[in-house]
């Protein structure tokens, strides 16, 4: 069950449009029309309908924070009581170091993705949270993300290939100037806005916007433009599978990543350091589908999987790959 949430009845045309928006949310109506073999008018109408129905929540840019000197940390929190959830989530939503905040069900109650440049900075961020909320926290765990390839949603159009991209790639160190900082702040949460909209909101000229966006893409600062889909409204749930490895060779680990990449419902593979070694993400219709996948993984990779845990991501409250409020 999906909490009695309204599930939109989508046809193959809606799904194809979402598929291509997931590949490139800045694609023009004409580009999407050619790829889906629909008219621009039909594409425009259906996108607006998907937005109105809440299937499309927003469009966002995946910013590669590695050139900025940041590392992604994964924080998991178990609360003493569910009544404390909203206060803790609000704390992390306001943080200028968090890119993702979500409530979950399973062993953990909240999961947060945090950006920090070093151990001292992440320590200060966690200490600040604990000083304010320690009485509400039963348990916490923090993991370091080493790499995290993301895969586009092939289930939206079963015959299409997946696209892989990363947002923790070790690109050359880069410091955006004030103009690029302004653009990144805006595009992080408004990836599909037109050049005219960006001009009105930022005060930048058309030529500067075109030039700087191309430059940021060339510098690998912008990895991808994506659509944020309300999964519940298309009848799906997001699950995370945390895995402890045992004696895994690089080849076997790579094989597991390829399994996720080529699985219909696989959307992300994270290599992490800490209590767990791997975090997998699947967007599936129900728990039965998830455990069918887990059974397949445990069968194919019995030689390298030591233990596993499952989390259902109940609701996400923040998604912003460039949460910085001041120039870097």
Q: 193-230: per-residue pLDDT in tens? A: 999 999 999 999 999 999 999 999 998 899 999 999 99
Which residue ranges of the chain lie beneath pLDDT 50? 1-3
pLDDT at 325: 78
Angstrom CA distances, 46 to 6, 15, 37, 94, stand at 18, 10, 14, 34
Query: Is 99 within 8 Å of 115 (Cβ atoms)?
Result: yes
In sequence order, the 6+-apart residues with CB closer than 8 A to the CB of 299 are: none
Q: Which two tokens stand for residue 120?
A: 């001292």
As a whole number of Å, the end-to-end CA separation of the chain is: 44
Whole-structure pTM over 0.85, yes or no? yes
d(CA 104, CA 310): 10
Alpha carbons within 13 A on the beta-carbon side of 296 = 10
Query: Is 273 within 8 Å of 46 (Cβ atoms)?
Result: no
How does pLDDT run across 4-45, given as a tens digit for each residue? 566 778 999 999 999 999 999 999 999 999 999 999 999 999
Q: Does an H or E element contain 34, and which?
A: helix 29-36
d(CA 173, CA 168): 12
Closest CA to 146 of 277, 292, 45, 283: 277
d(CA 51, CA 97): 28
């Amino acid at each position: 069950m999906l909490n009695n949430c309204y599930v939109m009845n989508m046809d193959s045309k809606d799904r194809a449009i979402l598929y291509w928006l997931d590949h490139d949310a800045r694609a023009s109506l004409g580009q999407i029309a050619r790829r889906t073999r629909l008219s621009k008018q039909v594409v425009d109408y259906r996108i607006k309908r998907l937005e109105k129905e809440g299937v499309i929540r927003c469009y966002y840019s995946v910013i590669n924070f590695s050139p900025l000197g940041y590392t992604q940390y994964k924080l998991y929190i178990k609360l003493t009581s569910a009544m404390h959830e909203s206060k803790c989530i609000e704390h992390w939503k306001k943080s200028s170091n968090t890119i993702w905040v979500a409530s979950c069900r399973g062993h953990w109650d909240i999961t947060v993705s945090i950006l920090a440049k070093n151990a001292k900075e992440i320590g200060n961020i966690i200490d600040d949270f604990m000083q304010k909320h320690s009485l509400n926290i039963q348990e916490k765990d923090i993991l370091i993300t080493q790499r995290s390839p993301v895969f586009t949603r092939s289930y939206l159009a079963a015959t299409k290939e997946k696209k892989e991209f990363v947002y923790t790639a070790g690109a050359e160190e880069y410091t955006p100037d004030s103009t690029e900082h302004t653009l990144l702040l805006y595009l992080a949460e408004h990836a599909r806005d037109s050049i005219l909209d960006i001009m009105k909101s930022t005060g930048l000229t058309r030529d500067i916007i075109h030039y700087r966006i191309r430059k940021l893409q060339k510098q690998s600062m912008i990895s991808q433009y994506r659509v944020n889909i309300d999964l519940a409204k298309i009848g799906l749930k997001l699950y995370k599978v945390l895995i402890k490895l045992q004696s895994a060779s690089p080849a076997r680990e790579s094989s597991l990543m390829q399994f996720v990449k080529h699985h219909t419902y696989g959307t992300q593979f994270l290599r992490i350091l800490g209590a767990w070694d791997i975090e997998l993400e699947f967007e599936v219709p129900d728990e039965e589908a998830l455990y069918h996948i887990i059974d397949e993984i445990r069968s194919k990779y019995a030689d390298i999987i030591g233990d596993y845990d499952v989390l259902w991501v109940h609701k996400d409250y923040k998604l912003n790959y460039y949460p910085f409020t001041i120039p870097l």
